[in-house]
Homo-oligomer: A and B are copies of this chain.
Amino acid sequence: MTQALALTRDELQDFLDGDFGPLGGDFIVDRAEADGLTLRMKSSDRFLRPGNTVSGPAMFALADVAVYLAILSRIGMAPLTVTTNCSIDFLRKPVAGRDVLAHTRILKLGRSLAIGDALLFMEGGDAPVARANMTYSIPPDFKRG
């Protein structure tokens, strides 16, 4: 038997499409399960930088939103959870014109801190283009779902 999620894939997608803000429309939750979540960033010229590659800030945003959603899927809707640290390695030059996928792992869900990481791939690629480790601060008065 597998651990139930506090928020389903559809509920996370609704959050992205609704209250999340302008960036939400670029992201699709491909998969949300107890062992991890996959977030897709749709290919867009807005995410490119000179050299026809996906920009660092766009990959940072993808990793950040992916791990954030993975945490919400486990603890429930805690939108005041904020990123406190990110360490990101850019491993290979991403190719323009393809979606980027982030596969996440949750490493710790503490009382006040949550830690996870993400491995980013171009759609169809088998070598990661980036790896990010993210830390979040959870509001102390949040009641978990």
**Contact indicator B133/A89 (Cβ below 8 Å):** yes
Q: Give Cα distance in the complex from A112 to B110, angstroms.
A: 13
**Contact indicator B113/A84 (Cβ below 8 Å):** yes
Flag the segment in A4-12, A49-57, A96-104 that touches B: A49-57
- Does any Cβ of B come within 8 Å of A13's Cβ? no
Please judge, given known A-B contacts A49-B23, A57-B60, whether A89 and B79 are in contact too, CB under 8 Å: no
Please list the residues of chain A having a beta carbon within 8 angstroms of any beta carbon in chain B. Answer: 19-21, 23, 49-51, 55-58, 60-61, 64, 79-80, 82-93, 107-108, 112-113, 115, 117, 119, 128, 131, 133, 135, 137, 140
Q: Give Cα distance in the complex from A86 to B107, angstroms.
A: 16
